[in-house]
């Protein structure tokens, strides 16, 4: 299944890199680094130069923290989306929000994809995607409300629960009028899950890719990586790249990341091992 987002079409064996641009003062991974609008724009310039296919712009921290009103979320994101759209007409702009009011305004400003990480908590988000002809990410949060963390969460089979939830949301998006080739599904590591759940989702990701919906994974510096390796946020790159390689091998299509160049190298290597990409050069043993 091809994936069509904005001006870009991604084929079955294309692996797209989605760069994270958090315009928040309290993100767990880059606290305040891009809160200033000029810094956020410089971050976009940097990741585009590094080869990002998409940028994912967000204005609210995913977890617990200061309450961010709709107006403040828009203050952090609307101008930024408009400026990025003007500077990069062909760049795919994703917006990380669960609010339909925010999604509608950001689509007006030029967004191509709504990254709804809270699994349709606002059911009108999918209607916004249909109205503007943009894409949507269908996620799994274990039934949690936005910005809440799991506590003693239990699944009989976490992979089966994820598959049923995200494919159900994808089917609902089609019924609402979203184009089938603009829909991604995300197992949403850590959201509504403990570390064992996220490890199992990674290990069995092929069961989700077998649904034929394009799969997005957001692995970068996640807590399940930190807990598995016993490492703080700033030391989770190696673990992130290992999980990225496994996910790519299992067929994930889009990779949300803080580290564009490193991720792109991993994806290129996996694609070459899989036979989908020729080596950049192959002179060994031929000279």
Could you tell me if residue 279 is inside a domain? no
Inter-residue contact 125 to 100 (CB < 8 Å): yes
Asked whether residue 281 is domain-assigned, the answer is no
Q: What is the residue whose two structure tokens read 């987002």?
A: 5
Q: Could you read off the pLDDT of 212-238 as tens digits, one per residue?
A: 999 999 999 999 999 999 999 999 999
The single residue of 15, 182, 222, 253 carrying the catalytic annotation is 222
Provide the pairing of β-strand 16-22 with 254-257: parallel
Q: Is 256 a catalytic residue?
A: yes
- Is 216 within the bounds of a domain? yes
Asked if residue 133 lies in contact with residue 151, where contact means CB atoms within 8 angstroms, the answer is no
Assigned domain for 104 exists = yes
Q: Give the global pTM.
A: 0.95
User: Would 142 be classed as within a structural domain?
Assistant: yes
Count of structural domains within the chain: 1
Q: What angle do CA 250, 255, 259 make, to 5 degrees?
A: 125
Is residue 40 assigned to a domain?
Answer: yes
CA distance 85 to 287: 47
Catalytic residue among 23, 256, 259, 264: 256
- Asked if residue 29 has pLDDT above 70, the reply is no
Domain with 195 in it: 3-274
Ordered DSSP codes for 17-86: EEEEEE--S--SSSTTTT-SHHHHHHHHHHHHHTT-SEEEEESS-SSS-S---HHHHHHHHHHHHHHHHH
What does DSSP assign to residue 185?
A: E
- 265 found inside a domain: yes
Q: What CATH number should be reported for the domain holding residue 172?
A: 3.20.20.20
pLDDT in tens, 142-197: 999 998 888 899 999 999 999 999 999 999 999 999 999 999 999 999 999 999 99
Q: Is residue 19 part of a domain?
A: yes
């Amino acid at each position: 299944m091809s994936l069509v987002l904005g001006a870009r079409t991604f084929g079955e064996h294309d692996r797209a890199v989605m760069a994270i641009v958090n315009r928040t003062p309290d993100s767990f991974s880059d606290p305040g680094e891009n809160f200033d609008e000029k810094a956020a724009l410089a971050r976009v310039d940097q990741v585009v130069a590094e080869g990002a296919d998409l940028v994912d712009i967000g204005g609210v921290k995913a977890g617990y923290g200061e309450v961010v009103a709709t107006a403040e979320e828009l203050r952090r994101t609307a101008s930024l989306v408009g400026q990025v759209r003007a500077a990069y007409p062909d760049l795919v702009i994703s917006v990380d929000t669960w609010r339909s009011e925010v999604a509608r305004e950001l689509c007006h400003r030029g967004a191509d994809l709504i990254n709804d990480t809270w699994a349709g908590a606002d059911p009108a988000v999918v209607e916004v995607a249909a109205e503007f002809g943009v894409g949507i990410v269908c996620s799994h949060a274990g039934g949690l409300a936005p910005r809440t963390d799991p506590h003693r969460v239990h699944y009989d089979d976490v992979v089966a629960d994820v598959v049923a939830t995200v494919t159900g949301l994808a089917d609902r998006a089609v019924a609402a009028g979203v184009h089938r080739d603009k829909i991604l599904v995300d197992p949403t590591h850590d959201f509504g899950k403990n570390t064992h759940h996220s490890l199992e989702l990674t290990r069995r990701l092929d069961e989700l890719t077998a649904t034929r919906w394009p799969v997005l994974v957001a692995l970068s510096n996640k807590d399940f990586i930190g807990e598995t390796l016993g490492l703080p946020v700033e030391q989770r790159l190696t673990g992130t790249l290992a999980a990225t390689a496994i996910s790519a091998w299992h067929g994930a299509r889009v990779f949300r990341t803080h580290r564009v160049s490193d991720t792109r190298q991993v994806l290129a290597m996996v694609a070459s091992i899989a036979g989908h990409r020729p080596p950049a050069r192959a002179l060994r043993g031929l000279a």
